[in-house]
Structure 1
């Protein structure tokens, strides 16, 4: 049985400030499912194997009640030490550490076991508890965003970046995928070694420049690569070629931030590379009759690529990161 505190008599409430007006009202409970929490805890106390099925999906903070959090935290600790998590073991450990009465006593643990009929669906119930937890996190982040809006001591760019990070962190909170058999990993590893021995693959993302890919082993994540040279040496051309090849050959989203050339100028260059027609002729429209179908096919090919251009001349690093983060969220995968 879960005890519910009795509401105190109505008394005059203090006036709220602008920030507090957005907080949840006292009669609103955050999203939670106490029955699901009880099913999980009862299953852990009933079935010694149940904790292993939810440990990588559920974290102690996901439980709404403090007593439930403490019971689950204890179960994780015992499981990590190779000890049983049954009713007797849990009760004894909680009693020895002085936590038993805080979680409701031994009668509360027995009640959890009695209410649990089966642990067959404990995996799905764990996902339900995590869903409620993420919703509470969303509410918390929403209140934090409101506070950021009222904080006028920070620059607006920093406020927007921190606000996006609050929400983005929730969308990235995904359960672990669990254990992978070594045999499966070794099979993929052998295939990669075999392919690379034939010279047809590199460790990173190839950009389709043979010598460059041989030197760099493809684009590696977390690397910063600087392309330097004198004016009119082809820096923009090679970078656009690399971007187009990654998007075209690997179907990975690619962002191009241009602080000098407009997006129209870059598009002319991309189209010129795709169809093999000088960009100056494209701008003036001086095309031969047989080049028009080629132009149409090139436009169609480029239009299907996940290639995105931003030509804002004074973009900051925070703005670039924000746009990249938004694009990742829209596509549901990492950028190329």
Structure 2
């Protein structure tokens, strides 16, 4: 527990009194601070109580003064609030300064959270005989995520319609950076482009090419826009992901790539291909049992290091861990999908999450997937902006040569546009997709 002389540097009684008196004298000044100031931001209990009463009156759309506040607050305490309220309004604040003092209150609150959080971590480490570093780091990540998401942004999340119009249509660079192409013309005809904040689910039965398709999009985004892309591969190792990517880039089968690795035949690489490989800003993270907090931390680090992030790929959604491990796996997956959508919006980056399908479709005559086939779907279909299903008829009818290397990308959900089917070629041995003409 901290001594009071330490905490005195982490609150401002003057700022708290100033904000309360400003609200009492100028009820409308609440409009300047409503988007971030909360009851728990105040350090003093009496101030929390007064502020909660003010919030109650504001929600009821009732004009208030010290007497209306006193009539409600006196039932909670023996403290003489009337004298105190009279005292603080004598400061006669300028309502223009309420935002400044509210920021002080909010920042002091966050500093206290950081202080207590750091102290708790230190105590946990000192008390435990056996230290689990992974467990400690996860605890730190969760705590930091909780503090960071409460950090006051420089502006509100609400924007005037005309400002949004100006941002998108009058600034070419802003418009260009906000959207990325999949790299496939037939698919882009339906989707147009995928934008920051979009959660895209790519699903299909085994052997449909889900991972290869996602890697192809990742390569296209990094190559065309020169943007960093991160791939969270919880199923395959980084070397396996690299093999698939190189097969696609070099247009060579995976056995050829593996042979180069095993025999270290670097001369087999064309110089132009080497330039492509070294120019791509693709990061591969093979952390197992990944949770949303770890993902958030890693993505924020990349954005800090490189200034931006073009795409996040998760292979695959059902291998992620939920911080709240419920017995019901469907609820866990639902929580994960909601968190991914929030993460995409928070970072303003599109997220591709690969998902499994249940086996129900195998008993149907028409084995093309539908949204209800999503495994442990829960709210996946609700959270996703785009749902893509990959279907290869040659898996079920290998003798029909017309189906050879043909894959259907079925757009079953498209929040901001039409649905439909795009046909692509898929060369499985090269992990490569190309447009179907």
> Deviation string for 1:147-182 (max 9, x for gaps)?
655578998756643442122110111447154334
1:208 maps to what in 2?
183
Structure 2 counterpart SS, 1:84: coil
1:49 maps to what in 2?
28
Matches within 5 A, 1:132-281: 132-146=108-122, 149=125, 150=127, 160-175=137-152, 177=156, 179-184=158-163, 187=165, 206-212=181-187, 221-222=198-199, 224-230=201-207, 236-249=211-224, 251=227, 253-257=229-233, 259-263=235-239, 266-267=241-242, 269-271=244-246, 273-274=248-249, 280=256
Change (3 A) 1:102 1:218: farther
Note if contact 1:137-1:170 (Cα within 8 Å) is conserved in structure 2.
Answer: yes
**Which structure has the greater CA radius of gyration?**
1
Structure 2 counterpart SS, 1:37: helix
What TM-score, normalized by structure 2, do the two folds share?
A: 0.54
Give the Å deviation of 1:254.
2.4
Counterpart CA distance in 1 for 2:69 and 2:294 is: 50
List gaps (5 residues or longer) in structure 2. Answer: 170-175, 305-346, 351-437
CA RMSD of aligned residues (A): 4.0
2:103 maps to what in 1?
127
> Deviation string for 1:91-136 (max 9, x for gaps)?
2332255258656432221221222442222212211110000111
List gaps (5 residues or longer) in structure 1. Answer: 1-22, 192-200
Note if contact 2:113-2:147 (Cα within 8 Å) is conserved in structure 1.
Answer: yes
Which is bigger in relative contact order (C-alpha 8 A, separation at least 6)? Answer: 2
**Out of 41, 51, 57, which is 1:72 matched to?**
51
Q: Does 1:326 align with 2:297?
A: yes
Give the Å deviation of 1:328.
2.9
Note if contact 1:43-1:113 (Cα within 8 Å) is conserved in structure 2.
Answer: yes
What TM-score, normalized by structure 1, do the two folds share?
A: 0.68
**Out of 81, 85, 102, which is 2:60 matched to?**
81
Counterpart CA distance in 1 for 2:4 and 2:93 is: 35
Change (3 A) 1:238 1:51: closer
Note if contact 1:62-1:129 (Cα within 8 Å) is conserved in structure 2.
Answer: yes
Counterpart CA distance in 1 for 2:40 and 2:212 is: 51
Structure 1 counterpart SS, 2:95: coil
Question: Which is further off, 146-155 or 248-257?
Answer: 146-155
Change (3 A) 1:244 1:83: same
Q: Does 1:113 align with 2:89?
A: yes
Structure 1 counterpart SS, 2:6: coil
Give the Å deviation of 1:222.
5.0
Equivalent residues, number = 287
> Deviation string for 1:213-247 (max 9, x for gaps)?
567787785554335444xx755432321222344
Structure 1 counterpart SS, 2:27: coil
Change (3 A) 1:242 1:93: same
